């Protein structure tokens, strides 16, 4: 979950500190590199691995400390605790910025408090840049989509899809354009909404238009100016989704697909299919902490979340990282053009944050 821009350049600091000389965790990093707490389990698979991890997790105290920004985390916790009697998950849940801030501050103080972190792409990149994560190499990797792996010392467990969602009472069935550029039409004046903190969505859409569609930067800037002339600004995706369901605007340009799908399941007059292209896909992932207090429990949890727990992610209408989940159909229609989160969103955070803020300056607030 994202709630506005990151405070005081926090994400940029996490991503860039390692390039500016030794970080406060450097000595600890070197010590951890020499002693991998997950090494005893590296070559274990099948029942032998499961039994050893469960026994050792109980010997560690029977607890797992998890920091997460996943609003549906309780479904995973319940499934895990049912499958692993005697192991309690102590979950701290907050928005992604708070999860990042707490993790960085505790490790800089030499008092890490969590075994696993579960949050957004950019925040995981920031933690990885500070060498606070250790790569997962367990057997559950085999069942994941290619885009879930090779991301650094963390692994995607699900994907958030930024889509254009609309209120079916405010927008007729044939009104949504085939692609994003159609929202520059003046007929959408006052009928659109964007979320105040979605600079990563903006960076990705901007990159898609320049690199994939071949538009000049001048043309893309002009396009966004026309679109923003039609928008109202919402704060928070949950609030944005509630406003969309209530008809306070016709279209949310950067809403999560699962937000729309959950509302529709409850009877709200909302939809996002046929999809307005492109759909922006952002990986949300899981990272093993390099200095866990409960390494066996951390691996047990990660094996579960990337394996059997994928069915719980699918039940919550998120997009699971697994290639196949029994009984689950991918929500993004086949043939729909998708685009990943812009890589420069992580390396040029301040630039995109400032550009998005400047773009929305003066736009009316929703509600």
Q: Give pLDDT, residue 239.
A: 93
Q: Average pLDDT in the 74-81 region? A: 97
Q: Give pLDDT, residue 33.
A: 43
Q: Give pLDDT, residue 176.
A: 97
Q: Average pLDDT in the 19-28 region? A: 42
Per-residue pLDDT tens for 263-314? 999 999 999 999 999 999 999 999 999 999 999 999 999 999 999 999 999 9
Q: Give pLDDT, residue 367.
A: 79
Per-residue pLDDT tens for 39-52? 999 999 999 999 99
156 pLDDT more than 90:
yes
Q: Give pLDDT, residue 348.
A: 85
Question: At a CB cut-off of 8 Å and minimum separation 6, what does 363 contact?
Answer: 228, 231, 232, 233
Q: Are 64 and 57 in contact (CB under 8 A)?
A: yes
Reported confidence tier of residue 25, pLDDT bands at 50, 70, 90: very low
Per-residue pLDDT tens for 99-122? 999 999 999 999 999 999 999 998
329 pLDDT more than 70:
yes
How far apart are alpha carbons 85 and 226 in whole angstroms? 56
Q: Give pLDDT, residue 143.
A: 96
Work out the percent of the chain whose per-residue pLDDT is above 90.
Answer: 84
Q: Give pLDDT, residue 345.
A: 67
Reported confidence tier of residue 18, pLDDT bands at 50, 70, 90: very low
Q: What are the residues facing 340 on neighbouring strands?
A: 281
**What average pLDDT does the chain have?**
90
Q: Give pLDDT, residue 236.
A: 87
Q: Give pLDDT, residue 24.
A: 43
Per-residue pLDDT tens for 228-255? 999 999 998 889 999 999 999 999 999 9
What CA–CA distances, in Å, run from 358 to 94, 112, 158, 201, 262?
27, 37, 31, 15, 32
Q: What are the residues facing 133 on neighbouring strands?
A: 289
What CA–CA distances, in Å, run from 340 to 205, 233, 307?
9, 24, 23
Reported confidence tier of residue 34, pLDDT bands at 50, 70, 90: low
Q: Give pLDDT, residue 80.
A: 98
85 pLDDT more than 90:
yes
Per-residue pLDDT tens for 340-358? 887 776 678 889 999 999 9
Q: Give pLDDT, residue 253.
A: 97
What's the count of helices (H) and strands (E) in the chain, helices before strands?
14, 12
Domains of the chain listed by start with CATH number: 9-158+283-320 (3.40.190.10), 160-281+332-360 (3.40.190.10)
Reported confidence tier of residue 10, pLDDT bands at 50, 70, 90: low
7 pLDDT more than 60:
no
**DSSP string over 27-54:** HHHHHHHHS-TTGGGTT--HHHHHHHHH
Structure tokens at 181: 């550029």
Q: Average pLDDT in the 220-234 region? A: 97
Q: Which of 293, 289, 11 is nearest to 135 (CA)?
A: 289
Q: Give pLDDT, residue 17.
A: 42
Per-residue pLDDT tens for 192-212? 999 999 999 999 999 999 999
């Amino acid at each position: 979950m994202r709630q506005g821009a990151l405070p005081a350049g926090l994400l940029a600091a996490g991503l860039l500190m390692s390039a500016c000389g030794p970080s406060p965790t450097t000595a600890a990093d070197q010590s951890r590199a020499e002693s991998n707490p997950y090494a005893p389990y590296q070559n274990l698979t099948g029942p032998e691995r499961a039994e050893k991890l469960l026994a050792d997790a109980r010997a560690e105290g029977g607890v797992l400390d998890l920091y997460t920004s996943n609003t549906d985390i309780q479904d995973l916790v319940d499934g895990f605790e049912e499958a692993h009697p005697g192991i309690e998950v102590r979950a701290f849940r907050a928005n992604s910025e708070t999860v990042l801030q707490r993790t960085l501050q505790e490790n800089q103080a030499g008092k890490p408090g969590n075994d696993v972190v579960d949050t957004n792409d950019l925040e995981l990149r920031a933690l990885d840049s500070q060498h606070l994560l250790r790569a997962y190499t367990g057997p559950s990797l085999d069942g994941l989509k290619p885009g879930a792996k090779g991301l650094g010392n963390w692994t995607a467990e699900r994907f958030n899809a930024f889509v254009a969602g609309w209120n079916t009472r405010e927008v007729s069935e044939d009104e949504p354009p085939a692609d994003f550029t159609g929202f520059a039409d003046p007929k959408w004046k006052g009928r659109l909404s964007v979320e105040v903190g979605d600079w990563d969505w903006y960076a990705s859409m901007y990159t898609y238009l320049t690199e994939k569609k071949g538009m000049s930067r001048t043309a893309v800037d002009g396009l966004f100016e026309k679109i923003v002339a039609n928008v109202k600004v919402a704060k928070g995706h949950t609030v944005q989704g509630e406003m969309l369901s209530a008809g306070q605007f016709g279209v949310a340009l950067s809403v999560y697909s699962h937000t729309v799908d959950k509302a529709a399941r409850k009877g709200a007059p909302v939809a996002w299919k046929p999809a307005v292209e492109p759909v922006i896909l952002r990986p949300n992932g899981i990272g093993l902490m390099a200095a866990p207090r409960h390494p066996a429990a951390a691996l047990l949890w990660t094996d579960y979340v990337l394996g059997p727990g994928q069915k719980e992610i699918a039940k919550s209408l998120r997009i699971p990282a697994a290639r196949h989940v029994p009984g689950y159909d991918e929500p993004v229609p086949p043939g729909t053009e998708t685009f990943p989160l812009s890589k420069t969103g992580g390396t040029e955070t301040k630039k995109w944050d400032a550009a998005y803020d400047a773009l929305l300056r003066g736009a009316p607030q929703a509600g």
